[in-house]
Amino acid sequence: MQEERVLPAFVRLGYVAAVRWLTDPSFARQLVPRLEQSAGGKMPRYYQVLLKGKFKDDVPTETTYVLSRILH
């Protein structure tokens, strides 16, 4: 079964930072446990994540986790 990921962002730069959080193992190691904890121990199928990013010359230099919520 193929799954589709939707990654909306208000600016193109935010999209780049969000994709890094879902594809870079070091960021995923921070995100996945938080989502699993919120969902009772297993990875939720649907969720939203709010990230805070800093950019220099249109390049993300710092992205931090702010909060997340499980969608039902």
pLDDT of res. 11: 58
CA 67 – CA 58 distance, rounded (Å)? 24
Task: Return the pLDDT at 34.
Answer: 94
Cβ atoms 19, 8 nearer than 8 A = no
pLDDT in tens, 1-49: 555 555 555 557 777 788 888 889 999 899 999 999 999 999 999 999 9
- pLDDT at residue 6, rounded to an integer: 58
Please compute, for residue 36, the number of CA atoms within 13 A of its CA located in the half-sphere on the CB side.
Answer: 9
